[in-house]
Homo-oligomer: A and B are copies of this chain.
Amino acid sequence: MTDPATPYLRVDVGRLRDNIARTAAAAAAAGVALRPHAKTHKSADVARLQLEAGAVGLTVATVGEAEAFAEQGCTDLFVAYPLWLTDALADRLAALAGSGVRLAIGVDSLAGAEKAAALLAGSGVELVVEVDSGHHRSGIAPGLAGDVALAAGDLTVLGVFTFPGHSYSPDGRAAAARDEAVALAAGRASLGAAGLTDLVVSGGSTPSLEHADASVLTELRPGVYVFNDAQQWELGSAAPDQVALTAVATVVSHAGGRLVLDAGSKVLGADRASYATGFGRLLDHPDARIVQLSEHHAVVELPGTLPALGSRVLVVPNHCCTAANLADELWPTDGDAPWPVTARGRNT
């Protein structure tokens, strides 16, 4: 590969392919469909590898991401988000569905379902009801999923989904997967009582993935697994040698006897979960900790001899999704041309 100016994001393509293949194989063995969340990478090149490995379609977070991936040829998209529809958003969704994309969106309230029924009638856009499984973000109580479906009028309701985001806890990964299964089963039962059959039952997060209950779930939507990051490393859901995305940074200073790198929060993102040991990790220096992060500086404490001024190090962002969204391109290790971050900034 060429040698761009630092800081830049580097994709280890061998590890990327391994992550995709391993997760695809596990889903296939469990008899569960895989619909990876493309908000992690926002890259048509990465999405292509996932679809080639058997993914049934992509998950996205916004209508803009759906449009971006549809433009790149993806024909099966789920906006896993309780969109509050406006006329303009409904028009964009209808245009996508009218172009031949199989398109579903999330809904988590009766009011949202009524709005969708009014604005999306005849568009072909389908709904999936979001239930809360313990993360307490969006999502209705599972027992009310059927009421939401009934409020959706003539729209097709495909099933139920959740995001067990409380799996982002060192001791909570398996428990979150159990909560996920319980909530999804209850949501499925509520939809069944409302007369719906043949349901999609969709869950998944990277930390809970290995614990997902294939007796309940029909579909998994992990995102981060494709790259992994310092959060997964520190949660124990990925090993350092499964980290495929790093920021290449230059040592610009040894001020105060510490390492100062030119990759800051505008490259790595400022995410720092309560369990994080710092603002990211150094891939080849597991004992190092990023103790201070500014927009263009990472200050690293590191036992022993510091890497030389001007040398380059690989920084593992805490959260790969926010890091990828900050970059216009990703540099693959197996080629000279960067991969565009196709859907970067497509937040609406």
Q: List the interface of chain A (C-beta within 8 A of B).
A: 4-8, 39, 61-62, 81-84, 86, 88-89, 108-109, 111-112, 115, 132, 136-140, 165, 250-256, 260, 262, 265-267, 269-272, 292, 294-297, 299, 309-310, 319, 321-322, 325-328, 345, 347-348
Contacts and interface: CB of A to CB of B under 8 A. Distances in A.
A296 to B, nearest CB: 5
Given A84-B309, A89-B5, A253-B82, A260 B295 contact: no
Given A109-B253, A136-B256, A295 B39 contact: yes
Contact of A345 (B86, B296, B328): B328
A83 B165 CA distance: 39
B328 A5 contact: no
Contact of A250 (B5, B84, B327): B84
28 contacts: A5-B88, A5-B348, A7-B347, A39-B295, A62-B296, A81-B262, A84-B250, A84-B253, A109-B309, A112-B252, A112-B253, A115-B310, A132-B256, A136-B255, A136-B256, A136-B299, A137-B294, A137-B297, A137-B299, A138-B297, A165-B294, A269-B270, A270-B270, A270-B319, A272-B272, A295-B321, A296-B347, A327-B345
A283 to B, nearest CB: 19
A interface, by DSSP: helix, strand, loop or mixed? loop
Given A5-B89, A112-B252, 17 more contacts: A8-B348, A84-B250, A84-B251, A84-B309, A108-B255, A109-B253, A109-B254, A109-B309, A136-B292, A136-B299, A137-B294, A138-B253, A265-B271, A265-B322, A295-B322, A295-B325, A326-B326
A282 to B, nearest CB: 17
Contacts of A299: 136-137
A270 B322 contact: yes
A299 B132 CA distance: 14
> How many copies of this chain does the complex contain?
2
Nearest to A88: B5
A296 B5 contact: no
Given A5-B348, A348-B8, A253 B108 contact: yes
Most chain B CB inside 10 Å of its own CB: which residue of A82, A267, A272: A82
A86 B170 CA distance: 41
Contacts of A322: 265-266, 270, 295
A103 to B, nearest CB: 17
A266 B89 CA distance: 19
A83 B325 contact: no
Given A109-B254, A137-B292, A255-B139, A326 B309 contact: no
Give the top 8 A-B pairs by smallest Cβ distance, nearest first: A5-B348, A84-B252, A270-B270, A270-B271, A138-B253, A61-B296, A138-B255, A138-B260
